[in-house]
Amino acid sequence: MSVVGGTIWHMDTDEPGYVYEDAPGKRLFPLGNVYITRSIAESGIPHEVIAEFLAHHQHGLWGDDISDEDSIANNCATHGGGGRVLSAFRWTDPRGDEYRVHVVTEVEVDERTRHTTTVRLSLGR
């Protein structure tokens, strides 16, 4: 699996192995093509953790560090308004280093809705 600069998963399928099963509720939106940045690929964050973050993002669990404004914007975007959906998560590696991870889905609402999701390290790791 190539994870740098390319698609890693099409999470819109119901194929086993592509959906994190423990996320509650229904998916609010498709993730579309999912990309991870080089910094995420080199961080050592396990793919299973990234899949968990993606599932929580898709189910409306925006994460640890989301402001009220971003939460409101996410709710508007997921209920037909289009725009950006942002989630923020924290992960600590075995050495105790903490990473802040952002999951961002861009939604373009036009005659053919397109979704693109990027997983990246936030600034100020």
3 occurs within a structural domain = no
11 occurs within a structural domain = no
Tens of pLDDT, residue by residue over 83-93, are 899 999 999 98
9 occurs within a structural domain = no
Over residues 19-27, mean pLDDT = 58
Mean model confidence pLDDT for the chain: 78
Tens of pLDDT, residue by residue over 80-122, are 777 899 999 999 989 998 999 999 998 776 656 678 899 999 8
For residue 43, the enclosing domain spans 33-121
pLDDT value at residue 3 = 37
pLDDT-derived band at 123, boundaries 50, 70, 90: low
pLDDT value at residue 12 = 41
Structural domain count of the chain: 1
56 occurs within a structural domain = yes
Kindly write down the DSSP assignment for every residue of the chain, as one continuous string: ---SSSB---TTS--TTSS-TT--S--SS---EEEE-HHHHHHT--HHHHHHHHHHHHTT--BSS--HHHHHHHHHIIIII-EEEEEEEEEE-TTS-EEEEEEEEEEE-SSS-EEEEEEEEPS--
Q: What is the pTM of this model?
A: 0.77
pLDDT value at residue 81 = 72
